[in-house]
């Protein structure tokens, strides 16, 4: 339904017309504004048509909500799978490079985009220690800096690993 905006727009217009019909009928009665009489058969057909239009709009809205929720759940599942795949890839690479537990922590923080100072604060260590650990990580990974480190993981996820020159 969402991939057919014309149909969606037509149903929306139908609902608006139906709602205007009922609201105007009530307002005219409350304000005692005289209206030329409409034969009861036509009047009943108009009311039945307006009611059907509103019910149709509710039904379509419910179907669209259901489809939207299904798409959201599918996207959340895909995101969880991708997140899990990324962490599996990270752990595999860290193991391959032989990173120490401290280097693993620093590498994860670096991949998350934290600065040297922020990593040092979180790990309750000096910035010099963190710099030495990041240099060891880059050397073991065969890269010259954080952007290349991150690109290794992005390329692996994309399935198009590009050789990186050793530092």
CA distance 86 to 100: 20
What is the average per-residue pLDDT within 34-58? 85
Checking if the pLDDT of 41 tops 90, the result is no
Q: What is the pLDDT of residue 139?
A: 95
Q: What is the pLDDT of residues 124-148, one digit of tens each?
A: 999 999 999 999 999 999 999 999 9
Arithmetic mean of pLDDT over the chain: 85
CA distance 102 to 42: 81
Checking if the pLDDT of 164 tops 50, the result is yes
**In sequence order, what DSSP letters do the residues of 45-111 get, joined into one string?**
HHHHHHHHHHHHHHHHHHHHHHHHHHHHHHHHHHHHHHHHHHHHHHHHHHHHHT--HHHHHHHHHHH
Q: What is the pLDDT of residue 1?
A: 55
Checking if the pLDDT of 167 tops 50, the result is no
């Amino acid at each position: 339904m969402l991939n057919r905006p014309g149909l969606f727009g037509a149903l929306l217009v139908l609902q608006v017309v139906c709602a205007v019909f009922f609201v105007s009928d009530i307002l005219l009665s409350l304000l005692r504004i005289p209206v030329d009489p409409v034969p009861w058969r036509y009047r009943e057909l108009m009311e039945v048509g307006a009611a059907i239009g509103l019910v149709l709009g509710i039904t379509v809205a419910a179907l669209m909500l259901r489809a939207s929720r299904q798409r959201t759940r599918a996207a959340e599942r895909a995101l969880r799978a991708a997140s899990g795949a990324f962490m599996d890839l990270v752990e595999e690479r860290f193991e391959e490079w032989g990173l120490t537990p401290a280097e693993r922590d620093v590498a994860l923080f670096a991949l998350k985009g934290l600065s040297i100072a922020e990593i040092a604060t979180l790990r309750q260590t000096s910035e010099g220690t963190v710099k030495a650990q990041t240099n060891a990580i880059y050397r073991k990974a065969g890269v010259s800096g954080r952007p290349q480190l991150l690109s290794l993981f992005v390329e692996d996820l994309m399935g198009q690993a590009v050789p990186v020159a050793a530092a």
